Structure 1
Amino acid sequence: MIKLQIKNMVCPRCIMAVENVLNEMKVSAIEIRLGEVLLNQELKTDELSTFKSKIEKLGFELLDDKNSALINKIKSIIIGQIHEKNENFVLSELISFKLNKEYSQLSKLFSATVGMTIEHFAILQKIEKVKELLVYDELSLKEIAFQLDYSSSAHLSAQFKKVTGFTPSEFKSLGNSERKGIDGI
């Protein structure tokens, strides 16, 4: 079994895009998940080159560096936790558990490589999720705060204003124009 690490592959649509590339190339995958593709056999040099070229056109990057792959896994865990809310864990404990490494080591690597802390990246992801939920207009601010594990709607509002420059109600009146894709953070 061969594992390919892919950077910027952070949402279900990304998985479908990579799956389409593999189908187009007539390469079958065992599994395709956030940041990874598992194949039965190694790609030939020309196939690997074609695959790399095609996914780069889609905004992805084939990783060959262990640290880059680890950073990508950290981002995928954070995005999964915030946008899909699969587990109810403290983020640092979840990352450490899933990667079987000390959080302090992962945190230092992330900060040095990405230029921001894991916590700041998580906050930016949370704010993007808040924006999404505000645009949908199905939940109150209090419900959004509860869903995203904020201590209160006041805490959420303060953090939202600090990051975006807008209050949640001001943002809501702007509509969809200020949102970023989760892979654009």
Structure 2
Amino acid sequence: MKIYIKNMACESCKVVVKEALEELDLNPVKIELGEAVIKEEIDLNKKEKLNSIIKKVGLELIESKGAILIEKIKNYCQEYVNADKAEKMNISDYLTSKIDLDYNYLSNAFSEVTSSTIINYTNLLKMEKAKEMILFEEYNFSEIATKLHFSSLSAFSTQFKKVTGFSPTHFKNLKEKRRKAIQELNEDLEEKKQ
């Protein structure tokens, strides 16, 4: 049985879900961002208990097809941004290759539910990743621009300043500004929607 989970954003989320499933004597077969596959069917009582456990860390079970699609889009956007090897495709092609639905349909569904565009969400993810890379001094700005699928250093710098209010260099010098958790980005989207 497949279970869909909202706000899974990192490897530690997978660990939390695995532990919660095992605590309820459920046997996980595979756990990915946004979903878990278990060997058995899950009854309503265990589903409620699972949801209660994972809600403590900001995760939540989802069941509607629309919500599941939006989580898939968010997770694939994150996968696209975090890919070790830079994909030679734009986000729209990447999403359609992963979800096998028309990008216009995906884009409209995402915008309708989140009040944001997929491009805007992806850019927010990219800027959070860029902040992390700058703070940990892993890469120079040109390498960051390439890893985050920007066409040039100038395009990266412009987008960084637009989102953060700082140039990459100025941000690097601040060091107090911390990276937002993916859950916070999703909460920001929810607030904009209301």
Aligned to 1:147: 147
Aligned-pair CA distance for 1:52: 1.0
Aligned to 1:137: 137
Cα distance in 1 between the residues matched to 2:21 and 2:33? 15
Spell out, residue by residue over 1:122-166, the C-alpha distance to the aligned partner (whole angstroms, 9 max, x if none).
Answer: 100110111011011131111111221212212211111111111
Q: What do you get for the CA RMSD once the two structures are aligned?
A: 1.4
Aligned to 1:42: 41
Aligned-pair CA distance for 1:167: 1.1
Indicate how the Cα distance of structure 1 residues 84 and 182 shifts in structure 2: closer, same or farther if over 3 A, else same: farther
Which amino acid counterpart does residue 27 of structure 1 have in structure 2? L
Does the Cα contact within 8 Å between 2:26 and 2:39 map onto a contact in 1? no
Spell out, residue by residue over 1:5-58, the C-alpha distance to the aligned partner (whole angstroms, 9 max, x if none).
Answer: 101012111111111111222221111111001111111222111101111111
Which amino acid counterpart does residue 89 of structure 2 have in structure 1? F
Cα distance in 2 between the residues matched to 1:103 and 1:160? 25
Aligned to 1:57: 56
Aligned to 1:117: 117
Cα distance in 2 between the residues matched to 1:122 and 1:18? 25
Which amino acid counterpart does residue 133 of structure 1 have in structure 2? M
Does the Cα contact within 8 Å between 2:28 and 2:39 map onto a contact in 1? yes
Q: Give me the identity figure in percent.
A: 36
TM-score normalised over the length of structure 1: 0.94
Cα distance in 2 between the residues matched to 1:156 and 1:106? 25
Cα distance in 1 between the residues matched to 2:53 and 2:101? 33
Cα distance in 1 between the residues matched to 2:30 and 2:23? 16
Aligned-pair CA distance for 1:178: 3.0
Aligned-pair CA distance for 1:174: 1.9
Stretches of structure 1 lacking an aligned partner (at least 5 in a row): none
Does the Cα contact within 8 Å between 1:135 and 1:176 map onto a contact in 2? no
Does the Cα contact within 8 Å between 2:58 and 2:183 map onto a contact in 1? no
Does the Cα contact within 8 Å between 2:26 and 2:40 map onto a contact in 1? no
Establish whether residue 108 from structure 1 lines up as the match of residue 97 from structure 2: no
Cα distance in 1 between the residues matched to 2:113 and 2:182? 19
Aligned to 1:73: 72
Stretches of structure 2 lacking an aligned partner (at least 5 in a row): 186-194
Aligned-pair CA distance for 1:176: 4.9
Aligned to 1:167: 167
Cα distance in 1 between the residues matched to 2:89 and 2:19? 33
Establish whether residue 89 from structure 1 lines up as the match of residue 86 from structure 2: no
Indicate how the Cα distance of structure 1 residues 182 and 88 shifts in structure 2: closer, same or farther if over 3 A, else same: farther
Stretches (4+) displaced over 6 A: none
